[in-house]
Amino acid sequence: PSLAILTPYRKQLERLNTALWHGPASARLQRFEPVGGAYVHTVDSFQGNEADIVIVSLVRNNHHHALSR
């Protein structure tokens, strides 16, 4: 099956790629087919494509906003 991991942020894409390829998940990741030659994409760059499995990461870290807001 094909796998795509999507994020709206380019910096998060870079961090996800680093974590995936340098962590324990890298061996298991190769069980899946990448879409367009990559597993991790920004939401914008993935438009028009499809994958059997899609993981969407919507994490955001903004030091200007507190949790109470």
Which whole number is the average pLDDT over 11-20?
91
User: What pLDDT does residue 41 have?
Assistant: 97
Cα(42)–Cα(33) distance, integer angstroms? 17
Do residues 51 and 20 make contact, with C-beta atoms less than 8 angstroms apart? no
Tally of CB atoms within 10 A around 20 = 16
What is the average per-residue pLDDT within 48-67? Answer: 81
Q: What is the mean pLDDT of residues 39-56?
A: 96
